[in-house]
Amino acid sequence: MKKFNFLVVAVLGVAVAACNSPMGSLDKLKKEKAELKDKIKELDDKIAALDTVKEYVYPLVEFGAARTDKYVHKISVQGAVETDKDALINAETGGVIQRILVKEGQRVSKGQTLVTLDAEILSSSINEVKTSLSFAEYMLDKQKQLMERGVGSEFELKQAENQVNSLRSKLETLSAQRKQASVTAPFSGVVDRIFPKEGEIAGPQSPLVRLVNNSEVRITADISESHLTAVNIGTPIEVYVPTLKDTFNMEVTAKANYIEPTNRTFRIQSSLKGNKQLLPNMVAELHITDMILDSVMVVPTQSILKTQQNESFLYVANHEGSETYNVRRVYLEVISAFQGESAIRILSGELKDGDVVVAKGARGITEKDLVKEKK
């Protein structure tokens, strides 16, 4: 700064001297003035360089890796556990409940009696019909004997036969009704709930027992019709049941041939045997595999950016120094994305298995920038 002040004083001194000099030395003074201005500028630049230290700020980024790998894409839907063997059992006829022969939680076999209704009136009616039938059969035999002797009439014989047939039919009906007074299990299972109490009146509209067999269940779900061609019988399914905090590896065992018009979905189901933990109406999360690529370039989804022309690209990082990296663009096409990873197809540029890509912090940087890894 002292040199700068000295030069300014020198310039002023020359200017004053010029005022007292002859006109012939004007050109010389102008030349000296120009030279002094150049020296002043040179000194100013040096002073600015000494007074101001300019630091380059490196963008901080996070890295990921590109790899050639098997890629699996899944769709997630909500489903439910169902079973065909979940029944509310009703009495086929009305009557007073005489006995309940099972308890809740009890395992029963197919055909086992669960509840009996009061059948005393039916039993009395059956005994009366049996007595009448025995007498009618006796009368029919007598009419046949008379006809053989040529004494009886055909009309009386037909009348006796009709009486016997009518009583037999009535006996069958009453016997069937008495059988209905015993409510039996339609399949083997567990008595989940008993609704009435002994002495109450049962009827065809009132359930007596809920019987459940969960040894054979199925998981069902409704899938968007956009996945119709990707989901088929045999497609792998990963089923997570939140209640059990457990996952089951299954596959599609049935696929509907009908699109539900109200929500444009089709139904799938997956059967499972021997797992008694799964109960009807449990909620299940289905992760269905709809795409498998055996060998494809896979990169972190967050590393992919868009240009103003909607072109997809990412930055590949290469070591420039001990801690700095230069970056270059690789343009690509996204085939599919799932759980933070994208399967891609390279359109221009070079990307190899194991290359380092900028996963975070790439927005705002250019190929001219040097970057550092964020620690």
Task: Express each pLDDT in 287-318 by its tens digit.
Answer: 999 899 999 999 999 999 999 999 999 999 99
- Closest alpha carbon to 189 in 82, 85, 278, 271: 85
Per-residue pLDDT at 8 exceeds 50: no
Query: Residue 293's beta-bridge partner residues?
Result: 71
pTM, rounded to two decimals: 0.59
Q: What is the pLDDT of residue 328?
A: 94
Q: What is the pLDDT of residue 22?
A: 53
The C-alpha angle 32, 35, 37, rounded to 5 degrees, equals 110
Question: Long-range contact list for 20-28, CB < 8 A, 24+ apart?
Answer: none
pLDDT in tens, 65-99: 999 999 999 999 999 999 988 999 998 887 888 89
Residues 6 or more apart whose CB falls under 8 angstroms from that of 146 comprise 152, 156
The C-alpha angle 363, 368, 374, rounded to 5 degrees, equals 50
CA pair distance 103, 297, nearest whole angstrom? 61
pLDDT in tens, 311-333: 999 999 998 878 899 999 999 99
How far is C-alpha 181 from the geometric centre of its chain's CA atoms? 47
By the 8 A CB rule, do 81 and 278 touch? Answer: yes
Q: What is the pLDDT of residue 16?
A: 46
Sheet harboring 95-100: ordered strands across?
Answer: 182-184, 113-117, 95-100, 201-202
- Choose between 345 and 34: higher pLDDT: 345
Pull the structure tokens for residue 235: 């497609």
CA pair distance 177, 173, nearest whole angstrom? 6
Q: Cα-atom radius of gyration of the chain, to the nearest Å?
A: 49
The amino acid present at 295, given as its one-letter code, is S
Cα 19 to Cα 5, 26, 36, 345: the distances in Å are 22, 9, 18, 80
Per-residue pLDDT at 216 exceeds 60: yes
Pairing relationship of beta strands 182-184 and 216-224 according to DSSP bridges: unpaired
